[in-house]
Amino acid sequence: MPSTETVARFTNQVLSGDHAGAIRDWYTADATVQENQSPPKQGRDLLRAREQATLDRMERVDTELLAPPLIDGDTVVIRWRFTFYPTGGGKLMMEEVAWQSWRGDQIANETFFYDPAQMKPPPIA
């Protein structure tokens, strides 16, 4: 069960922009991540590589914590907002809820819930 301080250290690392490093430092070797109803992806190395590939396509990503994390035993729920600035220009904003199951001080399973329509570029006026 993670403490409030442990979850704060995790969220602070993500807020600092070190998304791939947070996977390296906080996820179990056999962690799974699922986006909405997609099949889960498994393995910290794969998850980190996928995250880094996304980050590599961006000029930058701004990350916000929209509410304090909710902690109930081994379950942690976090509400995030990410603003993506792709290398080719533009801006995409996405809000999501991360539902995490922790094993001690590491994340074993995480499911992201978000509206995929948020990732579509806004219509040109």
CATH of the domain at 15: 3.10.450.50
Domain that holds residue 33: 4-115
125 within a domain of the structure (yes/no): no
**Structure confidence at residue 118 (pLDDT):** 75
Q: Which amino acid is at 77?
A: V
Tens of pLDDT along 34-49? 999 899 999 999 999 9
Nearest Cα to Cα of residue 48 among 28, 65, 78, 75: 28
120 within a domain of the structure (yes/no): no
56 within a domain of the structure (yes/no): yes
97 within a domain of the structure (yes/no): yes
106 within a domain of the structure (yes/no): yes
Tens of pLDDT along 99-109? 999 999 999 99
Q: Which amino acid is at 17?
A: G
49 within a domain of the structure (yes/no): yes
Per-residue pLDDT averaged across 7-34, rounded? Answer: 97
Q: What's the structural domain count of the chain?
A: 1
- The pTM (predicted TM-score) of the whole model is 0.89
Looking at residue 66, the DSSP 8-state letter turns out to be -
By DSSP bridging, strand 41-42 and strand 70-72 are unpaired
Angle between helices 19-26 and 4-15 (to 10 degrees): 150
**Structure confidence at residue 121 (pLDDT):** 63
**Structure confidence at residue 2 (pLDDT):** 96
